[in-house]
C-alpha cells in the first residue's frame, strides 16, 4: 500500500518539471557552482512554469496545489545533483509566513511576485551570537509611530544575495521575556539601513547564495509586521514543523540519488576483471545503505501524510529531521568509501553531494536541538 497517493495531475506536473530541469537547470549547474550563485532568470523561469509556491491560491497567482507538489519539486530537484536552487526554502518555508500571517496588503504586494519568481525571499533568524537558540536573538525592532526601526545583524542567510524580501526575526528590547519579545517583519531590498555583507564562501551548497545581512536604523512600515506583535516565537514554532519536514524530504532524496549513482558506478567499474558490485563487501554496503533509505522514506512519507491531514507532529518531524540527515551523512560517507580515490575528483557528483549533505544536520535547527525537543515531550 502506498503511503502517498499521487494523482494523474501530480504525475503530469512531475513530468513537466523533470523536462524543465533537464533543459534549464542541469546543463548550467557546473557554471553556477563556479559562480557561487544562481541567476535570477532561473527563478523567473521556475515561476512561469508554475513550479514555485505551488500551494498558493489562484487569486494570488498560484495553482492551489497540495503539499505533494512540494514533495515532487524536492524529489525532482535532487536529480540535478546540486542544492543551489533553494526552491523549497522559498516556497515551503519563507512564503508560508506571509500567506499565513501577513495582512491582505502584504499578501497582495508580495505573494504574486513570489509565485512568478520575480520576488525571491529569504528568512533571517541566525545571528553571529545566536543560531538555533531563538531566545538569544539580539536584533531589535522598536516601534516609532507608524514605523518600526530595526538594528542588528544576521548571518548564514540562504538566498541572502538574490533576496528581494527578507522575513526577519527581531525583539522588542522593552519586553523582558525573550519569547514574548520576538516579532517577524518583512523588509524589502533597497530599504535605507538594510545592507548585505559578505557573500559567504562555503564548503558546500556553493551555488546557493548565502550572505550576511546588516540593519542599521532600518525603518519599515509598522504594517510590515507579520501577525500580532510579540507572537513571532509562536509563529516560528508553528511553521518549523513544515520546515523540518522539508529538510527530511531533502535528506532522503539526496541519499537516494547517492545510492543510485554509486550503484551504477559499482556496476560499471571493474577491479581484477569483475565489477565492484560483484564483491560481497560492496554488495552488503549497498544493501545496508538502501535499507536505511527505505526506512527513512517510510518514516518521512508517513509524516507528510500526517502533515497534510493537519496533525501536530512537532516531535515526530524533529525526530525525522535529526534521523534522516544523519542517515544521509552516513550514506554519503559510505558512498565515498566505495568509490575510492575517484571520489576526490570534482567531476563526480558524489563529491559535491558529500559536501552539500554535511550541513543538513546543522541548519533548520541543529540535530542536538531536535533531540532536545523530543526529550522534552518525552518528559525527560
- CA torsion 357-362-368-373 (nearest 10°) is -110
Choosing from 243, 288, 342, 368, the catalytic residue is 243
User: b/e per residue, 154-174, with b = 16+ CB within 10 A?
Assistant: bbbbbbbbbbbbbbbbbbbee
Q: Cα separations (Å) of 131 from 99, 173, 223?
A: 25, 19, 27
For residue 315, give every residue at least 6 positions away whose Cβ sits within 8 Å of its Cβ, in sequence order, or none: 373, 374, 377
Cell 519569547 appears where? 179
Residue 292's closest CA among 264, 332, 340?
332
**Region at 122 (left for phi over 0; alpha for psi -120 to 50; beta for the rest):** beta
User: How many other CB atoms are found less than 10 A from the CB of residue 5?
Assistant: 9
**Region at 30 (left for phi over 0; alpha for psi -120 to 50; beta for the rest):** alpha
DSSP 113-144: HHHHTSS-EEEE--BTTBSS-GGG---EEEEE
Does residue 288 carry a catalytic annotation? no
Which grid cell is 131?
A: 543560531
Helix crossing, 232-268 with 314-339: angle to 10°? 30
Which grid cell is 101?
A: 500571517
The SS3 of residue 183 is strand
State the catalytic residues.
Answer: 243
Amino acid at each position: 500500500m502506498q503511503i502517498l497517493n499521487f494523482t494523474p495531475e501530480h504525475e503530469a506536473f512531475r513530468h513537466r518539471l523533470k523536462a524543465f530541469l533537464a533543459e534549464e537547470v542541469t546543463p548550467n549547474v557546473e557554471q553556477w557552482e563556479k559562480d557561487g550563485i544562481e541567476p535570477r532568470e532561473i527563478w523567473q523561469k521556475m515561476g512561469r512554469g508554475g513550479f514555485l509556491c505551488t500551494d498558493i491560491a489562484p487569486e494570488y497567482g498560484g495553482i492551489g496545489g497540495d503539499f505533494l507538489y512540494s514533495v515532487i519539486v524536492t524529489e525532482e530537484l535532487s536529480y540535478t545533483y546540486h542544492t543551489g536552487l533553494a526552491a523549497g526554502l522559498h516556497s515551503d518555508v519563507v512564503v508560508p509566513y506571509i500567506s499565513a500571517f501577513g495582512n491582505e496588503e502584504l499578501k497582495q504586494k508580495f505573494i504574486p511576485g513570489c509565485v512568478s519568481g520575480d520576488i525571491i525571499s529569504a528568512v533571517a533568524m541566525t545571528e553571529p551570537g545566536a543560531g538555533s537558540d531563538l531566545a538569544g536573538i539580539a536584533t531589535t525592532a522598536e516601534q516609532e509611530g507608524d514605523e518600526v526601526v530595526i538594528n542588528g545583524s544576521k548571518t548564514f542567510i540562504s538566498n541572502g544575495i538574490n533576496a528581494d524580501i527578507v522575513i526577519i526575526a527581531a525583539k522588542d528590547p522593552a519586553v523582558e521575556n525573550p519569547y514574548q519579545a520576538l516579532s517577524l517583519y518583512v523588509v524589502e531590498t533597497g530599504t535605507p539601513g538594510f545592507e548585505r555583507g559578505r557573500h559567504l564562501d562555503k564548503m558546500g551548497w556553493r551555488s546557493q547564495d548565502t550572505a550576511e545581512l546588516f540593519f542599521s536604523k532600518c525603518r519599515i512600515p509598522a504594517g510590515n509586521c507579520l501577525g500580532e506583535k510579540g507572537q513571532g516565537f509562536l509563529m516560528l514554532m508553528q511553521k518549523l514543523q513544515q520546515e523540518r519536514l522539508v529538510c527530511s524530504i531533502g535528506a532522503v532524496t539526496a541519499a537516494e540519488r547517492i545510492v543510485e549513482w554509486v550503484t551504477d558506478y559499482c556496476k560499471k567499474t571493474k577491479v581484477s576483471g569483475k565489477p565492484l558490485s560483484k564483491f560481497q563487501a560492496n554488495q552488503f554496503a549497498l544493501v545496508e545503505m538502501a535499507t536505511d533509505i527505505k526506512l527513512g522514506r517510510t518514516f518521512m512519507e508517513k509524516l507528510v501524510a500526517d502533515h497534510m491531514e493537519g496533525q501536530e507532529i512537532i516531535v515526530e518531524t524533529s525526530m525525522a529531521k535529526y534521523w534522516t540527515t544523519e542517515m544521509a551523512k552516513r550514506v554519503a560517507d559510505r558512498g565515498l568509501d566505495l568509490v575510492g580515490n575517484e571520489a576526490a575528483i570534482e567531476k563526480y557528483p558524489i563529491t559535491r553531494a558529500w559536501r552539500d549533505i554535511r550541513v543538513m544536520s546543522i541548519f533548520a535547527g541543529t540535530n542536538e536541538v531536535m533531540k532536545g525537543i523530543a526529550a522534552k515531550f518525552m518528559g525527560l
